[in-house]
Amino acid sequence: MDTVHVIHNHNWVSSDTDPSGPSGQCTVGAVYGSGSVKRGLRLSNIFAETATSCAVGLQINKQAFNRHTTPSGCVGSIIDTRIDGIFFDEPFFLHQGGYTTYLGGEASPSSGCTGELSGRIDGFAVAGTVDGRPLASSDFTVPSGTVSGVTVGTAVDPHPLPTYTLYSGRNCDTSQGAVAELGSGFAVSSATQCVRRCHSDWSCDCVVFDTAGSICFKKRGCDPTNFYASTGYDAYVRPAAAEVPATVQVVSG
């Protein structure tokens, strides 16, 4: 499966009680109780809009609610899984459930359940970014004994960031230069990340970056001809929204 957009994945609303177990309700995942062996799953370029509580939540459990074990009570393993590119605009948001990205196999296989029917996760590779930083092994909770061969790395967004026009020392608001504010300001690591957050939101026409506090403000209906001077603030305008040619610097990905 390639190119999946997850819109408004506010999954923490129910993840404190449903489903039961540490895997929660992550962007990719489920609690498996099936006797079939899952092998060679390939996912790529998954884009999650707004905050999510976790990236991947894969758990194998013979007591899963919707279980279909073998007649002997065995559950199949998950073998050779790859997620090539999973991208999160915002940091992980741990709410009531407190879930983290999780991988876990069946901790107590039924008697005689061995090999590919022992309910393991073997060979799992994932690459992605979270709020501008690489997805890391420290994001994962992986109990020992039921999981092996996990690799975690960074990925490059396949959609190149176009050039946004920079209006250095300029600002805008609903009274001058913009039609609407798109939420409150939020912390970012850089001006480039601020621009990326705008570009992932189709309603965003420009951003204003507070250079001292590294705070980003998304705006809609931006008119650069009405921007006003404001020391310590820079405005970045989406190409389609830029109405006036600029002679200042530009930022690009």
The reply to whether 21 and 108 lie within a common domain is yes
Residue finishing a domain among 91, 125, 153 = 153
- pLDDT value at position 66? 77
The reply to whether 229 and 113 lie within a common domain is no
Whether residue 132 is contained in a domain is answered as: yes
Helix H or strand E segment including 196:
helix 191-199
Q: In whole angstroms, what separates CA 94 from the centre of its chain?
A: 13
What is d(CA 42, CA 128) in angstroms, rounded to the nearest whole number? 14
Whether residue 24 is contained in a domain is answered as: yes
CATH number where 178 lies: 3.50.4.10
The reply to whether 106 and 183 lie within a common domain is no
Residue finishing a domain among 119, 153, 187 = 153
What is d(CA 74, CA 111) in angstroms, rounded to the nearest whole number? 8
pLDDT by 10s per residue, the chain, length 253: 778 877 765 554 444 444 455 655 688 888 888 999 999 999 999 988 777 878 888 889 898 877 889 999 999 999 999 999 999 888 887 765 556 788 999 999 999 999 999 999 999 999 999 888 899 999 888 988 999 999 999 898 888 889 999 999 999 999 999 999 999 999 988 999 899 889 888 889 999 999 999 999 999 999 999 999 999 999 999 997 544 444 444 444 3
Whether residue 209 is contained in a domain is answered as: yes
Dihedrals phi, psi of 76, to nearest 5 degrees: -75, 155
Whether residue 158 is contained in a domain is answered as: no
What is d(CA 219, CA 217) in angstroms, rounded to the nearest whole number? 7
The reply to whether 211 and 129 lie within a common domain is no
Q: How many domains does the chain have?
A: 2
- pLDDT value at position 208? 98
Residue finishing a domain among 102, 131, 153 = 153
Question: Is there a contact between 59 and 32 (Cβ–Cβ < 8 Å)?
Answer: yes
DSSP assignment of 8-30, as one string?
Answer: ---GGGTTTTSS-STT-S-SEEE
Is 224 strand, coil or helix?
helix
Q: In whole angstroms, what separates CA 3 from the centre of its chain?
A: 13
Question: Is there a contact between 128 and 135 (Cβ–Cβ < 8 Å)?
Answer: yes
Whether residue 15 is contained in a domain is answered as: yes
Short-list 56, 59, 183, 186, CA closest to 126? 56
**What is the residue whose two structure tokens read 């099936």?**
34
Helix ranges (DSSP H) in 46-178: none
The reply to whether 29 and 135 lie within a common domain is yes
Whether residue 116 is contained in a domain is answered as: yes
The reply to whether 186 and 118 lie within a common domain is no
Q: How far, CA to CA in Å, does 74 sit from each of 68, 106, 122, 148? A: 9, 9, 16, 19
The reply to whether 123 and 172 lie within a common domain is no
The reply to whether 127 and 31 lie within a common domain is yes
The reply to whether 109 and 133 lie within a common domain is yes
The reply to whether 108 and 180 lie within a common domain is no
The reply to whether 112 and 196 lie within a common domain is no
Domain coverage including residue 182: 164-251
The reply to whether 40 and 146 lie within a common domain is yes
Whether residue 159 is contained in a domain is answered as: no
Short-list 165, 24, 174, CA closest to 101? 24
- pLDDT value at position 53? 79
